[in-house]
Amino acid sequence: MTIAFWNGDYLPLDEIRVSPLDRGFLFADGLYEVAAAYQGRLFEPQAHIRRLQRGLAELRIDTGWSDADWLTLMEEMLRRSGLQGDQAVYIQVTRGASTSRGHAFPAGVKPTVFAMPSALKRPPESWRSGGVAAITTPDIRWSRCDLKTVGLLGSVLAQQKAVEQGVVDAIQLRDGLVTEGAATNVFVVRDGAIATPKADHRILPGITRAVVLEIAAEAGTPVAERDVAANELATADEVWITSTSKEVTAVTRIDGRPVGTGKPGPVWTAIDARFQQRIGR
């Protein structure tokens, strides 16, 4: 039985009831976070909390929660989960439920706060040894992709397209540039140098992305945050995707064509080894 948090109470997940007038349900008016915990230890929790707090401020949703409050919630979810091994903690905050439907912010409405734990599905060994395949697809999402909102239909459609073509991810393209995967950040490597799309309104500033940038700098590997042209996917020696659940995964085929040698490359091998050390593996 999964124990979840719902507006101040810890309840069995299947006992939680969402109001049909909740603005997350009606308008996707909310944000979420997913944090990993390896053997009971949260990974980069403060980075997740900073991103959540920034998003709440941008959307003008005032929960009154401090950073310490969010950390306590995440730790309590792990404690109450009853799960063994690696876990994920999901947090969602919406503007709350009003008494009627209307686009403008309702007055006097308390935000809805929900959280639940789950087992963390880490990348399988086959991904590490052989990489994964991806496709490219137009980026049809809104222009504030830097906010981790629950309005994910563009990403849902991209991921469904990937599933239907039998691949792991869909790398999204806009105005001739790489933005990100369906739920991942993207890196390219050419001649030993790493590049990733810069963190502006077009992409989510991923937590794993930030860790990879730190690791690359520590290793002395050249790395740049810049616009990445779509045609660089065809000429790159290596392409990677990163996220909480996919960690650092090599993409070895895109649109049916091999990336580089068609196998995970040496720069990925070096960076991933350091990432695995960072998470205690």
- Beta pairing, strands 87-94 & 41-42: unpaired
Tallying the residues shown for the chain, one arrives at: 281
Q: How far is CA 78 from CA 12, 31, 71, 150, in A?
A: 14, 21, 11, 23
Q: Tokens for 157, please give them.
A: 């459609």
Beta strands in the chain (DSSP E): 3-6, 9-12, 30-38, 41-42, 87-94, 112-119, 132-138, 169-174, 177-178, 185-190, 193-196, 223-225, 238-243, 247-254, 257-258
CA angle 56, 111, 35 (to 5 degrees): 55
* Amino acid identity, position 29: D
**CA dist., res. 40 & res. 34, Å (int):** 15
Q: Does 148 participate in catalysis according to the annotation?
A: yes
Please, where are the H alpha helices in the chain?
A: 23-27, 45-59, 67-81, 125-130, 153-164, 207-219, 232-235, 266-278
| 92 in Cβ contact with 63 (< 8 Å) | no
Q: Which of 121, 148, 198, 246 is catalytic?
A: 148
Catalytic residues: 148
